Amino acid sequence: MMPRKIKNAIEFFRGVLNTMREAHDAKYISKYKTSNIIFIPVNHVETADFKLSKQDREKLARIGKERAERFLKKWTY
């Protein structure tokens, strides 16, 4: 995630919560085999961005489909 300039307390707390969420996710992923996780690069989209354009939604779906297909071709459980 790109660094952002904090302008007020709300942005500060949002940053703290995002940092906590990312740390939790990293801890969870490190507990399990990364070979069983599909990583999808979504750096250009915020977690709770509910106003994505149709183009961005289609791009996310395409990226997810491509990554899932690539993962399933080599995945063995």
Q: Parse the chain into domains and list their residue ranges.
A: 7-33, 38-77
Tokens 């007020």 locate to 8
pLDDT > 80? residue 12: yes
Q: What pLDDT sits at residue 2?
A: 63
As a three-state string, the secondary structure of 5-72 is CCCCHHHHHHHHHHHHHHHHHHHHHHHCCHHHCCCCCCCCCCCCCCCCCHHHHHHHHHHHHHHHHHHH
pTM of the shown model? 0.53
Each residue of 20-76: pLDDT tens digit? 988 887 777 766 667 778 888 887 777 777 888 899 889 989 999 999 999 999 887
